[in-house]
A and B are shown apart, each in its own frame.
Chain A
């Protein structure tokens, strides 16, 4: 199966809007939301069944036993993440948000008062409404990171491994996260093509340049489309000029369309209606498919 990933660098440029339109137009049988920090694709998911939910444990966290702690201060001295402080009686207190689960405190504690324990860092969801082996039944894989957790990259890899496997010719669509860090890097690995959705603004352009550098760093093929291009036509031209100079395929321009917001709030994709944005996204999909075929 071929995988198309939608990224943006800057948040809110329309990743989920484009991803949901692609899923609908392709009638894709396997899709995923890798934005585990702030997932949204489930809002537009059409499957009516309840998802299979699993707890996801990525890293353990330290916990201190007050009755054993002698207050020697060694754990706090050795912790490189600032996760250990001491209460009024000098006993160790672990800030589990700061703890990265490295196990150093457990190793250095002479009293064996600190232990690391498995904790749930998020939940994975698989929507599989029907016979899992039937290639015609669509499957949707997503997850939600528990607030303040740091294991987003590992959870993203889990979302991807939970995706339904299709035959070689079928296309899977993956909605990604904003930014260029951990969850983005994890989502990029193993995909066939990344479509970057940007917007014509100074922020959009600055962030586009950083995500493009990141994709070049990892050697992932990519193209660009400009959403709400008519908000600032000069900036749209600047983006397309940048792409031409960098030899990046420009897949198209989506106009600003109030219908798009209404679609989201009704829980449908822009490809479901005859709106201007929906028409343009069809063309962008065609351009993306041409690139995939030529690879």
Chain B
């Protein structure tokens, strides 16, 4: 079973919830899909045993064969090709490697070269299997790296926790489409509520079962909790805001390992997810 941990807004505690869930479960797989800014490794401190470069196919042009017909330039909807100084030129940053340029070329002048866009890491932290990836600096899209991480996860048995990127765009969608259950992590602000609603709509669009973890609860007004009640989103658990939890996380410690009460909260969150899934299957 794959559990995706989402939030919409950044910094509400996706990685905090993901690593604490993984530590509470022990035997499970943790996957960090926030390939732009991965942080899970800072907490799980895994031993990395395998590293794999992720590549995409970039077009290259044989100037001898090219007759300057510009069919490729006209075909490319990403504006990644231009005809300059009598030859086609590629702008690698905007190329979405669809390979259409090669298909439309009547002179067989297009070949492909592999371009490295990131790296996927596999390892272990105690009983927890660890998979993460990084997108190379200056790249626009982390999607190829995320896809490779998710492909690797298909070999994993048991429960997998997917630590997702923020937002509700294409990268988040990739991870949601793979999930069996989605957790939205909320914080008690109007910002958190607004972004929670965006992700909730995305998850609902995919028809995935969903629950919320309310993080940084202070006892004061909690707009995210109000939203959960309005929309009927089950609240799987509420994590109180304490300076101690904040300080443990700031040092890269997994808080539930140092705080018995927090561990109980995570045990109950896991129980609630399993119950939700059971009801879902029967219902």
Q: Mark B108-123, 1 if CB is under 8 A from A, else 0.
A: 0000000000000000
Number of interface residues of A (CB under 8 A): 64
CB-CB nearest in chain B for A260: B189
A40 and B205 within 8 A (CB): no
Report B-chain residues with C-beta under 8 Å of the C-beta of A103. 75, 77, 98, 100
Which residues in A have their C-beta under 8 angstroms from that of B68?
none
- B194-202, B229-237, B265-273: which lies at the interface: B194-202
Residues from chain B with a CB closer than 8 A to the CB of A1 are none
Do A102 and B78 touch (CB < 8 A)?
yes
* A116-161 interface with B by 8 A CB criterion: 144-145, 147-150, 152-153
Assuming the contacts A101-B77, A202-B250, asked whether A38 and B9 have C-beta atoms less than 8 A apart, the reply is yes
**B103 x A232 contact (CB < 8 A):** no
* In the assembled complex, B37 has its CB within 8 A of some CB on chain A: yes
Q: Does B168 contact A (CB under 8 A)?
A: yes
Q: Is B97 an interface residue, CB under 8 A from the partner?
A: yes
Interface size on B, residues (CB 8 A): 67
What residues of B have a CB within 8 angstroms of the CB of A9 in the complex? 37
Find out whether the CB atom of B137 lies under 8 angstroms from the CB atom of A180: yes
Bound-state CA distance A103–B10 (Å) is: 34
Asked whether, in the complex, the Cβ of B166 is within 8 Å of the Cβ of A264, the reply is no
- Give Cα distance in the complex from A200 to B252, angstroms: 11
Q: Does B189 contact A145, Cβ atoms closer than 8 Å?
A: no
Within 8 Å CB of A232, what residues of B?
247, 250-251
Interface-facing stretch out of A203-211, A270-278, A279-287: A203-211
The answer to whether B11 and A179 touch across the interface, beta carbons within 8 angstroms, is: no
Please give me the residue from chain B that is nearest to A145 by CB atom.
B169
Select from chain B the residue with minimum beta-carbon distance to A214.
B137
Q: How far is the CA of A97 from the CA of B202 in the complex (A)?
A: 11
Q: Please measure, in the bound complex, the distance between the C-alpha atom of A232 and the C-alpha atom of B34, giving whole angstroms.
A: 24
Question: B9 and A40: CB pair below 8 A?
Answer: yes
Interface residues of B (CB under 8 A from A): 7-12, 15, 34, 36-39, 42-43, 57, 75, 77-78, 93, 96-100, 103-104, 135, 137-143, 165-173, 177, 187-191, 194-195, 198-199, 201-202, 205, 218, 220-221, 223, 243, 246-247, 249-252
A-B contact pairs, 9 of them (CB 8 A): A10-B39, A38-B198, A144-B198, A147-B202, A148-B205, A150-B170, A178-B10, A181-B139, A181-B171
Given contacts A210-B37, A232-B247, 17 further A-B contacts (CB under 8 A): A11-B12, A12-B11, A13-B11, A37-B198, A103-B98, A147-B169, A147-B202, A148-B173, A180-B37, A180-B137, A181-B171, A202-B43, A202-B252, A203-B39, A217-B138, A231-B246, A261-B188
8 smallest CB-CB distances across A and B, nearest first, come from A11-B10, A12-B11, A37-B167, A102-B98, A150-B170, A201-B250, A179-B36, A148-B173
